[in-house]
Structures are given as structure tokens and as C-alpha cells.
Chain A
Amino acid sequence: MAMVYPKSTRYRVWLTHLSLLGFVLLIMFPLLMVVSISFREGNFATGSLFPDQPTLEHWSLALGIPYTLADGTVVKPPFPVVTWLWNSLKIAFISSVLILLLSTTSAYAFARMRFAGKGPILKAMLIFQMFPPVLTLVAIYALFDRLGQHVSWLGVNSHGAVIVASLGGMALHIWTIKGYFESIDASLEEAAIVDGATTWQAFVHILLPMSVPILAVVFILAFITSITEYPMASVLLMDIDKLTLSVGAQQYLYEQNYLWGDFAAAAVLSGLPITLVFLYCQKWIVGGLTAGGVKG
């Protein structure tokens, strides 16, 4: 099929490349800047993209190692970044595993079974998912305050509370997995049930092994959502050693105590792994995201 090209096409292609490259540079500016700042001396230094005297001061502090300046003074790490990162990873991992387990079983019922109230429940889930949790924080705080009086590991200022609270946000994941299950032919499971398998066995031994890709996507999505979750964690966690990264990171940039260089190193250190995972998995994630909703 011959496309009709005007004469000026070649210039237009060059122009397109030029504008795209210009745009990419513009977009990359903040990210490149942060990497550069993390190698600069002190917290107020200005300079070019490539630091004149690169130093590992901020990186050492971000990793929790005290740094000795040239004049012999020792700088202590301002915040326990590695602890925060560990807290974030721990909470994100446990809550994603729970979300994956529970949303998979629900999605199976929604995709394969007929039962009373199926349609309304599915629709209600979609609608309620749009209400921002920020607005109900008073109620959520009160809820965990009461829970904590009976079950201490679920109280305010515990990681358990943050993990359990994340279980409210499963609707989108259920929809994603349900869509995938529906795209798989049910005849294999039916055959297994005819041969005497229970519904549960058919689900675990036949459907699940075929759904590993979507389960991986949902796990990564839930993981990233949990890592970047801010409002709930900011209200439920108080002790500096219990904070997650998303709550703790802002402490670098208070007016009175502005640690720009230290922040840059901590940001690169903690942001880089998540960014790389996202880019590596983007092919699979993008499908799930665009089908579902908006990343937070």
C-alpha cells in the first residue's frame, strides 16, 4: 500500500526528531539534575551538570555511614533512609502478596461462577474505588485506634495497620484479573470438574498456572501502589524508625532544615530500583494500567 508523501517530508522527519529529542531533554532535566546534585559538596552548592569536585558525602549518608569531611569533622546521617526503604519494601511485599491472594480468588468467582448480587457488587466496587481514602482518614484513624486496643499489632503506629488498610483497594486488581480469566477458555476446567475435581482444585491446578503473567502484573502494580502510598501511612505511622520512604522523604526539605544534597542521594538510591523495575516490566504493566485506572 503506497502512502502518498509530500515533498517536504524529509525536513519534517528531521524536525520531528529534533523536537522529540528537545522534549526528551526537557523531561530528563530534573532527573539528571538530581543525580548531579547528589554528587555535589554540601547542601547548598550550585554548579554545572557535571560537578567540579564530585564527592560521595551524600551517598555515604544516605546509606547510613557517617562521613568524615576533609577538615576532620564527622557528619552523622540525618535520617535512617535504609530503615525507611526496608519498611517500605516489607509493607509493600506483604500487602501485595495478600492483595494478590485475595483478589485472585475473588476474580475467579466473578469470572466463572453465577451467584446472587454479582453484578451490583462488581459495579459497587468500581464506584467506591473512586472515593479518595484521604477524605476518610479521620474514620480510618479512629478504626485502627479501636482495633489497637484489642489487637496490638494492628493499632495506630504499627506496620500491620498500613498493610491491612491497603486491603481496601483491591477492586481494580479484581477487575484486571477477572478480565484475564474471562479471556481463557473455561472448557479445560469444566473437563476437570467432570472428571471429579472440585471447583477449588480446577481453579488451583488448571486456571492459576495459565494466569501467571497477569498475576505478575497485578503483583508489581500492587507493589508500586503500596510503595508510593502516602496519605494513610502519614496518618497511621509516627515514630521516625517506623516511617515508610514516601512519608519520610519529605523531612529532608523543611524550610528550617533544608538538606538538598542529602535528599538527592536518598531519592536516587530509593527511586532508582523502583524506576528500573517499572521500565523493565512496562510492556506488561501498561496493558493493565490503561485497562484499569490511573496510577497514584
Chain B
Amino acid sequence: MSAVNAAEAYTPAMTDFRSNAVLKSVLKWGLWAAFNAFALYLVVVLYAQQQTAFALLGLVVTGIASYVFISKRAYAHRYIYPAVAGMLIFVIFPLLYTVGIGFTNYSGSNLLSLQQAQTYHLQQTYVSGARLPFTVHRNDGGLRLQVAQPDGSVLVSEVLAQGAEPAQIELSLSTADSSLGEALPLREVIALRKQLEQWVFVEPNGELLRLYGLREVAAVRPLYRLLENGDLLNNRSSERLTLDTQQGFYVDSRGNTMAPGFTVYTGWDNFSRVLTDPSIRGPFLQIFAWTVAFAALTVVFTLAVGLVLASLLQWELVRGKAFYRMMLILPYAVPAFISILVFKGLFNQNFGEINLVLDSLFGVRPDWFSDPTLARSMILIVNTWLGYPYMLLLCMGLLQAIPRDLYEASAIDGASPVDNLLRITLPLLIKPLMPLLIASFAFNFNNFVLITLLTSGAPDIIGATTPAGTTDLLVSYTYRIAFQDSGQNFALAAAIATLIFILVGAMAWLNLKLTKVKV
């Protein structure tokens, strides 16, 4: 009896559990399907917009996601998926994309795709016929354009959407059935000019009208016609614009390029320019040499200062270690972007405090920002100030591991502190320090923030065709080529970035070998 009761009591709970499980799995698969559908939609949209690289990225990231979160075998991978996806999207993909750009002519003048450039040219018009006066009216909560015909009748446009995207919109005109009210004063038309210029109006007979000055619209015709081989024919002068897929431009009969250009694959052009064009190779090699010197000297200086300080603090007869330590790592605690800017002000030639002190002591006011040698010395001084606390901390940790009796033995032999430092401490420290020194070298090799905030690369190298400065590091050099107003040569910057990737990759690999990372 009781067993039956128990069984009966169980049944609702069981079905409850089962329906719960069903609900759960439906929910799970539903979510999975919705996620995949959305992802696929995005990928297709991107692909349709000819963003193949981005479509591929989306496909890889979402593909891995939908596998990892559905397969039982990939349970552990669910934990690492977000981090790996983060690296994939924001580190590895940009890396590959940058290398890819290095093989194109992507730049400020060649931003568009071929299709976009073609569309732009085909939208150009020329004035072909009569000019007609127009007025703008506010009506039905929007703007309407009224064009007076030569025969006295008027044509009226549909309501113009205000604040629309800058594109050419065709609006049909029709004969007016009622009055539109007061015309807008000229002052408001001037304010609307930019917007009005974007629209092309279509007359009932198919003629195109476009804004011509502030009081008239004019009949216009498309300037170009697309030929079968991709060339453009000028409708007015019947001149032919040849499609040049080598340069990424339309070229007229005299060989002039027509802006805007489009992005094309150019092979090794950028790389060979860096290595053979004297006006690029010269600055490039000079900047490369300075970058290596800067990184190496920084490591040497910071290590020297840090090691000496650590050895002094290590001495058990010195008291107040906590105080010294606190004071000495202060430069490390201040955010770098603030201390770099502080130094920029202190080194100012005219009212910087450093020159005031030098002036009162020695009567000199060095121009730290215009003289290449002085600018470089200033950068090294500032970077030593910024970087020695890290070496100090490293050395203090590693010094604990050196047996004290070595120093005792050397003291018995009558060695000086300098002997101790150079013959015992340094040789014993250098091996565990090596990977960290390489990491520090690599970090300073790419120390973009220091250069950008302190000198921005100034003073400039004379005779360079790209923006290049005597204190620029390779990273800030590529940044300036890509993002400074005059340049915007993304492709050249990407080619140089690719060269840096190879160097950094070599350093990373060497570092991994030396540390013998165990995973």
C-alpha cells in the first residue's frame, strides 16, 4: 500500500522533471539556432558588402562558439572560449589584416572599393539645359521644393526628409494642386544648401534637375557612362577614362588620375619602396637604428640604476629600507602619461624648470626639443626615470637568492664593493634576468606612448617624403604615416608594421626559448 502511494506521489514530480528537461533543451537549442541565424545573417551581409575579411572573421568566431557550446567533448573549451575569442578578434585578426593591407594601396586617396569609386563617378553630373528658379517651402512637417516652369506652371517635390544621409536621392516632381504657402527666406536656404545639393530631382519628362546656385535649379545629365570593359565615357566631351587596376585609379587620356581612387592589390610594391626608395629608406634606416639604440640603452641604463640601488638597499647595515623603497618606486606608481607630460613641461626651453636650474648653475639654456642629440638624451633621461623602478624591484627579488657567504668570502679576500657587484652579483643575476631584459627591450622597442607624448618625433628628418622625425621610433613612425593629416598612407604603414611584426615575433620566440615556459 505504502509502496503504491510512494509511486503515485512520485509520478507528478517525474513528469515535472521530464518537462523541465524538455523545456531546457528546447530553450538551449532555440537559443543556439537564434544565435547562429543572427551570426549567419551578419556574415552574409558583410560578405555582400565585399568585406570578405570581416565576414571570414565572423564565420570563424561564431563557428567555434556554436561548436564549443554544443559539443560535450569541448566542455573545457567553454571556459577559455571568451579569452581566446578576444585574442582572435582584437590581436590576431588585426595583425593579419594589417599584413594584408601592406600588400595593397589602401590610403587616404584610395579608400573606396572599385564599385564604390565607380558609383561615385557615375553620380557626377553636368549642366545640360535650362536653368529654372526655385523656392523652398515648409509644408507637411518637412521641406518641399517648388520649381517654376517656363510656361508659368509649377512643379512641386515630395516632402524632403531633413537630416538624411549624404547621398543622391531622386525625388519626382509633379504639378502642384494647392499652394505651399510662404517661401523660406534666403537665409534659411543658405543654411540648407549643403543638404539641397545632395538631391537630384526628376522631372515628369525624365529630365534631371539639380541645385545651381541659391535661386535656380538646372537640368543636368550624368557626366559618365559605364562601358563594358569597366572604362568610363565622358558624355559631354566623349573622352574615355581608362580603368587602371595597377594604380587603383581612373586615368584620362593625358595620364592624369581621377580622384577618388580605389583599393587594389599591389603585391610587394610597398615593401620594395621601403627598401629601395631613398627618400623612404633613408629615414627608415635612421629610425630603425635609433629604435634599437634607444631600446638597448634604456635596458642598460635602467638595469644599471636599478641594480646599484638594489645592492645598496640589500646591505643589512642600511636602515630605513621601507622608506627608501617607497620613495624609489614612486616613478613607477605615477601613471606614465602624466609623468611624461610633466617632463615635457619641465624640459621646455623658455620656462621649463630644468632650464631655470641649469641657467642659474651653469648659465646654459639647452634647446631640448629642436636639437636631435639633446632630444634623444632627454628621451633617455625620462625613460630611465620611468623604467628603473621595475629593474629595482626585479633585482631586489633576485638578490635574495644569492648566498651571503659568497660576499663574506670576497670580503676576506679584500674585494671592494665594486668588485662584488661586477664579479659576483652581476654574473649570478644575468641568467634569470635575461628573459625579463628581452621583454623590457621589446617593450621599449615599441614604446609609442613615451615618444608621442614627449616629442611627437620632433625634430623632423630633413628630406623625408613621409612624416619622419629624428626621435621617432618605428612604431610612432608608422602611426604618423597612417594617421597624421598629410599622410594617411595606411598601406605603407602596414608594410612597415609587417617588418616590425617579424622583429617582434623573433624576440618573442627567443624569449620563450630562454624562459623554458612549462605549460
Contacts and interface: CB of A to CB of B under 8 A. Distances in A.
Interface of B: 42, 45-46, 51, 54, 74-77, 79-80, 82-84, 86-87, 89-95, 97-98, 101, 309, 312-313, 315-318, 324, 326-339, 341-346, 348, 351, 353, 356, 385, 390, 393-394, 397, 404, 408, 411-412, 417, 436, 439-440, 442-443, 446, 448-449, 452-453, 475-476, 478-479, 482-483, 490, 493-494, 497, 500-501, 504-505, 507-509, 511-512, 517, 519
Given A128-B87, A171-B87, 17 more contacts: A17-B318, A24-B324, A24-B328, A106-B84, A129-B91, A130-B504, A138-B101, A138-B490, A143-B97, A171-B83, A228-B336, A228-B449, A249-B337, A270-B338, A271-B335, A271-B338, A274-B335
Nearest to A13: B317
Nearest to A146: B54
A167 B408 CA distance: 50
A270 B397 CA distance: 31
A55 B92 CA distance: 51
Given A253-B344, A263-B345, A136 B332 contact: no
Interface residues of A, number: 98
Contacts of B82: 102, 105-106, 167
A113 interface: yes
B508 A127 contact: yes
A121 interface: yes
Nearest to A109: B79
Given A16-B315, A260-B345, A134 B336 contact: no
Given A109-B80, A139-B98, A279-B326, A126 B93 contact: no
Contacts of A105: 79-80, 82-83
B80 A121 contact: yes
Nearest to A15: B312
A146 B397 contact: no
A128 B412 CA distance: 50
Contacts of A20: 309, 312-313, 318, 324
Contacts of A102: 82-83, 86
Contacts of B385: 27, 30
B479 A134 contact: yes
A103 B42 CA distance: 27
B381 to A, nearest CB: 11
Given A132-B446, A170-B83, A275 B330 contact: yes
A24 B327 contact: yes
A294 B440 contact: yes
Contact of B328 (A27, A33, A246): A27
B54 A170 contact: no
Contacts of A169: 90-91
A16 B338 contact: no
B345 A146 contact: no
Interface in A104-141: 105-106, 108-110, 113-115, 118-119, 121-123, 125-140
A130 B505 CA distance: 8
Given A126-B517, A230-B449, A137 B80 contact: no
A244 to B, nearest CB: 10
A230 B442 CA distance: 18
Contacts of B95: 128, 131, 136, 139
Contacts of A165: 90
6 contacts: A9-B317, A106-B80, A125-B83, A139-B101, A143-B93, A143-B97
A180 interface: no
A46 interface: yes
Given A46-B356, A289-B393, A137 B341 contact: no
Contacts of A131: 91, 95, 501, 504-505, 508
Q: Interface on chain B toward A: helix, strand, loop, or mixed SS? A: helix
B332 A295 contact: yes
Contacts of B344: 253
Interface of A: 1, 3-6, 9, 12-13, 16-17, 19-20, 23-24, 27-28, 30-31, 33-34, 37, 44, 46, 102-103, 105-106, 108-110, 113-115, 118-119, 121-123, 125-140, 142-143, 146, 150, 164-165, 167-171, 174, 199, 224, 227-228, 230-231, 235, 245-246, 249-250, 252-253, 258, 260, 263-264, 267, 270-271, 274-275, 278-279, 282, 286, 289-290, 293-296
Contacts of B313: 20
Contact of B439 (A37, A142, A294): A294
A102 B181 CA distance: 63
- Ranked 4 nearest A-B pairs via Cβ: A168-B90, A136-B94, A109-B79, A139-B94
A19 B328 CA distance: 13
Given A30-B343, A113-B76, A138 B504 contact: no
B333 A123 contact: no
Contacts of B336: 228, 295-296
B230 to A, nearest CB: 26
Contacts of A106: 79-80, 82-84
Contacts of A138: 98, 101, 482, 490, 493-494
A146 B479 contact: no
Q: Is the interface of A mostly helix, strand, loop or mixed?
A: helix
B33 to A, nearest CB: 20
Contacts of B83: 102-103, 105-106, 125, 167, 170-171, 174
Nearest to B444: A294
Given A24-B327, A103-B83, A135-B475, A31 B334 contact: yes
A34 B334 CA distance: 12
A115 B517 CA distance: 18
Contact of A296 (B312, B351, B449): B449
A151 B305 CA distance: 50
A290 B316 CA distance: 23
Contact of A263 (B341, B404, B482, B505): B341
Contacts of B446: 132, 134-135
A64 to B, nearest CB: 19
A168 B309 CA distance: 36
Contacts of A296: 336, 443, 449
A119 B95 CA distance: 22
Contacts of A34: 342
A161 B117 CA distance: 29
A16 B319 CA distance: 10
Residue from B92, B316, B338, B411 having most chain A Cβ neighbours under 10 A? B338
B388 to A, nearest CB: 9
Nearest to A228: B335
B443 A294 contact: yes
A60 B476 CA distance: 35
B327 A250 contact: no
Contacts of B339: 30-31, 271
A260 B348 CA distance: 10
A279 B333 contact: yes
B341 A249 contact: yes
Contact of B408 (A4, A133, A271, A279): A4
Contacts of B346: 30, 33
B53 to A, nearest CB: 9
A106 B85 CA distance: 11
A264 B69 CA distance: 52
